[in-house]
Structure 1
Amino acid sequence: MATSGSRDFQPNVAEWIEEAYERCGLEMRTAYDARTARRSLNILFADWANRGLNQWTINNVNQTLTEGTESYSLNAYVVDVLDVVLRRTKNSVATDYQMSQIGRSEYWNIPNKATKARPTQYFLDKQEIPKIYVWPAPENSTDIIKMNQILRIEDADTSVNDVQVPFRFYPCLVAGLAYYLSQKRAPERMDSLKMMYEDEFARAMAQDESRASFMVKPNMRSYGY
């Protein structure tokens, strides 16, 4: 028999909820069943944001700097910033300079935050509306910082929505939703569903990691090298 030739298996929110209820030994029967499951699904997405890097939610964003302005507000749905480079264009040649991240205390202990030069460091302030602070303060209004931002996963607002999750995370998605629903509807299955969820999540995250090679080079200056 011939294979289907299709690669478009993409259940909507209602189908994921149905599968999760079945793993709890239940059926989705009422509108409230669907609503409480969608709420659990969105909480599950928040858990994924806390657990680490979701490669498919990375977005490259540019921010033009303003001379003397040290802080810039980001979108509320930015979870984290992975890396930042400063792009400076001179004579039509663009050059990217890596910027290093510093912590809150290190930034706030800088004596003069208004010092102007090419920014070399940044601090990400993870408030409800995140802000990024750069130091030194920009010396012109033409430099651009390029950020790799991790964004929160889009909400499951209605049962007919698709989910913003790649195919490789499907087992993790339904296992996690079943575990979350079991806390409310099938506590006798909670332990086994949690184990299954953690196993599926670990496997999905291992596949999602970068396979790029890296080299560790020790700093030997203190030894006279």
Structure 2
Amino acid sequence: MAVDTTSTFIPDIAEIVEEAYERAGLELRSGYDMRTARRSLNFLLLEWQNKGLNLWTVEEASSADADAPAPINLEKGKATYNIADDTIGLLDVIIRTNWGNATTQNDFLMSRISEPTYATIPNKLNQGQPLQYYFNRKQIQAYNSATPTTQYSTITVWPVPDQDSKYRIYYWRVARIPSIGNTASNTTAVPDRFLPAMVAGLAYQIATKRPEAAQRIPMLKQQYDEIFREAAEEDRVKTSARFVPGVSYYS
């Protein structure tokens, strides 16, 4: 008997929605059923961003947005810069000096400080090579006009750069999970190891919307929590850990 050795099972959005409805004891019948399921999927992905670090969303920031380019070229005397769109959080931030020069280029890890710590720095205009940064996470997209506007998250460095064209910031970020589109035949931007959790979570969300599935809600919630926990525990960096004392200061 032949054995299938391929690993090609990647369900599209329609299949994910259909499976979720079946688990909720329901049938996917109308266009509205698909529409409300897509909306629930998008809320589910937003929820996942609050559950912890999802490794597939970690990336080195790269942006051609003129208002929030990445990497960031620092300017003399300028302390605050916009962070790339759809950034949920920052993991590592480095400052590179003399970039592009194979002989003199150097990377230095910057220290993250809180708003109260930044507020207590006596001289915020002191210039030099930036050593620390304060991340102000406030990205909001406003759609109250014909043209959407974005209020970017920002990074404020200290000391303030003392030269132009010498310092460049590179950063690794947690990016927002892409939304579910309107095409049912598309697949999601979620790795296959999290698809069982997506189906379980959607089944639970659908059941909360339909009175006839109310008796299944406790079971579906328990299944969703267990499956997501298993996926989240597996989705981790499998490297050795080394602990060193952290020493930071400012003058």
- Same fold per TM (> 0.5)? yes
Residue of structure 1 in register with 2:107 after alignment: 96
CA–CA distance in structure 2, aligned partners of residues 218 and 108 of structure 1: 25
Deviations 1:59-105 (A, max 9, x none): 20222212221111123311111110111127533211011111111
Q: Kindly, what percent of the aligned residue pairs are identical?
A: 39
Letter in 2 for 1:213: S
CA RMSD of aligned residues (A): 1.6
Comparing both structures, which one devotes a greater share of its residues to helix?
Answer: 1
**What pairs with 1:19-34 in structure 2 (closer than 5 Å)?**
19-34=19-34
CA–CA distance in structure 2, aligned partners of residues 166 and 131 of structure 1: 29
Letter in 2 for 1:194: K
Q: How many residue pairs are counted as aligned between the two chains?
A: 219
**What pairs with 1:1-225 in structure 2 (closer than 5 Å)?**
1-61=1-61, 62-89=71-98, 92=102, 93-128=104-139, 129-142=152-165, 143-158=167-182, 159-185=184-210, 186-217=213-244
Deviations 1:131-151 (A, max 9, x none): 111111122233111111111
CA–CA distance in structure 1, aligned partners of residues 90 and 243 of structure 2: 23
In structure 1, list runs of 5 or more residues that go unmatched.
220-225
* Post-superposition offset of 1:175: 0.9
Deviations 1:135-174 (A, max 9, x none): 1112223311111111111110112221001111111111
Q: TM-score, normalised by structure 2?
A: 0.82
Task: Could you list the structure 1 runs, at least 4 aligned residues long, displaced by more than 4 angstroms after superposition.
Answer: none
Task: Please state whether the residue corresponding to 1:50 is helix, strand or coil.
Answer: coil
**Closer/same/farther in 2, CA of residues 202 and 32 from structure 1, 3 Å limit:** same
Q: TM-score, normalised by structure 1?
A: 0.91
* Post-superposition offset of 1:2: 2.1
CA–CA distance in structure 2, aligned partners of residues 30 and 38 of structure 1: 13
In structure 2, list runs of 5 or more residues that go unmatched.
62-70, 140-151, 247-251
CA–CA distance in structure 2, aligned partners of residues 13 and 140 of structure 1: 51
